Amino acid sequence: MKYISMLCMCFFMSELWPWIIPLPAKTDEQYQVLTSIFSSKVATSIVKCIRLYDKTYQKEIIGATGFSKKAVLNVLNRLVKFNILNEGTERVERNGRKYWVKWYTPTFLGKWLILLLTPIEKINREDLHEILSNLFNLYATSLAKLCLKLNMDFNQYYVSLNKAYFNELSKVLMNTKKHCSVAVFGSSALDYIISLDEFPKSDEVRIGREISISPGGSSANVAVALSRLKVPTAFIGKIGSDDIGRIVIKSLINEGIDLSSVIIEDKRTPYAIVVIKNGFDKRIIVPLSDNMCLSISNPSEINWSIVDEVKLIYIGEVFIEAASALSSYARSKDKIVVYRPSTPFLNMGFEKLKPVFENTDILITNMYGWSLICKSSCKKLRYDDFISVGVKYLIITKGGDGVDVATENYVKTFPSIKANIVDTSYAGDVFSAGLIKALLDGSSIDEAINYASRVSAISISRTGGRSKIPFLEELT
């Protein structure tokens, strides 16, 4: 088969109709097919009233077109002859009498011609999906054959398709803009999660119980958890224009998050290999990749206006210079600032992070993060060191040992909530989202800690990547 791109549009149209029509290989047959449809108003009227996946009866067609019976029958015969329609008869009973009636269904070629003449909004979603899948598979197969036959580089076509997809995606993301209560700044990634009974020793090969793939990235997980808790949330970060980027961004779109400030770059989207032993002990490996953290080297990377619109900002995997600028700007606008630095930033020590701490209302880390920043700092750290530079609440999650909260007036340990622990992945992300949700709802810090612990306890009792993040309905 040859393919003809639908460029036969009027010159004044602003865009081309998106379909490609498969035609017979022989030129004279192509001409016959096209003229059988487009040279007659009767023919186009008939094609428009033919059902895609069901029979259309002759009597219906004659009544729907408004042309004479003779004219309609002549064209129907021609459409059958040129393999655009199939025809058949069946016996029906009406008012006690039996009749033979004629029906028509579109052929493979006929479906594409119907599609050409049918507005997209009039095609139901299931039919449209099937049509597009068949059309793309047909075109891709022929393109692959042609590339192999002529020794052409197939990858250049893949690159073109990928580029077109992300160009259109950027327009879709702008349409997700909405009024939000929280802006989450950080990273998105894809997690490859492997479950093991024991970690392998040096040179040892171990078989994993299972492997799952889940969109991740700590800050993106926080945004998802907030959205599921009915907190209108915007996510601001970077994704790469690659296969992983498509998976990651689609998952965020499906969560109803404002993604209008997401930056798409021609780089590789980060991914992580998460190895979990018996649901508790885990190792995370993040391959070195192009820098995909927000920075202030390019001022346009950060949408400052979104800080003005929200009540609270969450800062995750963001370069220190950008985190410092964000926290300072948010504090000047009387916004709540939640800072939860990831491992690489905690490794830089207290002194490096101090400019961010000075404008942070709530600082969240876990015991491992606390040990890292203590080891990386010039002096022995105490909780008071953070409070004295401006942090209002220092929150340290300790797993089964509960949660420490330090303020200017007290240090308190909140007990953990009992849970059937299956997988502790995302526990900190879900805890952070629960805390933010409760605070925005007017809860005290004590109430917010308890609520966050409840939400987190639900998540660690499940497996399955982001599917373990609970919805608000599960907490009522």
Encode pLDDT of 192-234 as tens digits. Answer: 888 888 888 888 888 877 788 889 999 999 999 999 999 999 9
Tell whether 328 and 365 lie within a shared domain. yes
pLDDT the model gives residue 375: 94
pLDDT at 21: 67
Q: Within 13 Å, how many C-alpha atoms sit on residue 224's CB side? A: 29
The pLDDT-based confidence of 13 (bands split at 50, 70, 90) is very low
Domain boundary among 121, 138, 155: 138
306 and 389 in one domain? Answer: yes
Of residues 463 and 62, the one with the higher pLDDT is 62
Of 120, 138, 156, which marks where a domain is finished? 138
Q: Which of 118, 138, 158 is the last residue of a domain?
A: 138
Rg (CA), the chain: 30
Contact (Cβ atoms closer than 8 angstroms) between residue 1 and residue 24 = yes
Kindly state whether residue 155 falls inside one of the protein's structural domains.
Answer: no
Side chain identity at 389, as an amino acid letter?
V
Q: Is residue 158 part of a domain?
A: no
- Which spans in 347-397 are helix H? 350-357, 367-376, 383-389
Q: What is the distance between the terminal CA atoms of the chain, rounded to a whole angstrom?
A: 59
Residue type at 345? F
Distance CA(195)–CA(425), nearest Å, equals: 12
> Do residues 134 and 172 both lie within one domain?
no
Give the 3-state secondary structure percentages of the chain, helix then strand then coil, rounded to 5. Answer: 45, 20, 35
In 175-240, alpha helices (H): 218-228
**pLDDT tens string 357-391:** 999 999 999 999 999 999 999 889 999 999 999 99
Give 430-462 pLDDT, tens digit per residue: 999 999 999 999 999 999 999 999 999 999 998
The tally of domains found in the chain comes to 2
- Residue with token string 């996510």: 235
Please check whether residue 152 lies inside any domain of the structure.
Answer: no
| Domain annotation covers residue 364 | yes
In terms of domains, do 120 and 173 share one? no
Rounded distance between C-alpha atoms, residue 399 and residue 383, angstroms: 18
Please check whether residues 392 and 327 belong to one and the same domain.
yes
Question: pLDDT by residue (tens digit) across 145-204?
Answer: 989 999 999 888 888 889 999 999 999 999 999 999 999 999 999 988 888 888 888 888
Give the type of residue at 340.
R
- CA 264, CA 270: separation in Å to the nearest integer? 13
Whichever domain contains 132, its CATH number is 1.10.10.10
Helix axes 108-116, 41-49, angle to 10 degrees: 100
Interval 379-428: pLDDT, tens: 899 999 999 999 999 999 999 899 999 999 999 999 999 888 888 889 99
pLDDT of residue 97: 87
- In the prediction, which pLDDT does 19 show? 59
Q: Are both 33 and 79 inside the same structural domain?
A: yes
Does 94 or 101 have the greater pLDDT score? 101
CA–CA gap between residue 347 and residue 364 (Å, rounded) = 15
145 in a domain, yes or no? no
The answer to whether position 148 is within a domain reads: no
In a domain, 151, yes or no: no
Strand positions, DSSP E, 38-150? 56-57, 85-94, 97-106
pLDDT digits (tens, 9 = 90+) for 128-140: 788 778 878 888 8
Q: Are strands 85-94 and 411-414 parallel, antiparallel or unpaired?
A: unpaired
Decide if 264 is inside a domain: yes
Contacts of 10 (CB under 8 A, 6+ apart): none
pLDDT band per the 50, 70, 90 thresholds, residue 17 = low
Mean pLDDT, rounded, for 238-250: 93
Are 71 and 219 contained in the same domain?
no
What average pLDDT does range 338-348 have in this prediction? 94
Please check whether residues 128 and 275 belong to one and the same domain: no
Q: Where are the beta strands (DSSP E) in 15-140?
A: 20-23, 56-57, 85-94, 97-106
Q: Chain-wide mean pLDDT for the chain?
A: 88
pLDDT, residue 121, reads: 76
Instruction: Looking at the structure, tell me whether residues 104 and 214 fall in a common domain.
Output: no
What are the φ/ψ torsions at residue 286 (nearest 5 degrees)?
-115, 105
The answer to whether 431 touches 396, Cβ cutoff 8 Å, is no
Query: 300-340 pLDDT, tens per residue?
Result: 788 899 999 999 999 999 999 999 999 999 999 999 999 99
Looking up residue 203, the CATH number of its domain turns out to be 3.40.1190.20
Together in a domain, 356 and 307: yes
> Which residue segment(s) compose the domain that 205 sits in?
166-475
Whether 100 and 207 share a structural domain: no
Same domain, 171 and 123: no
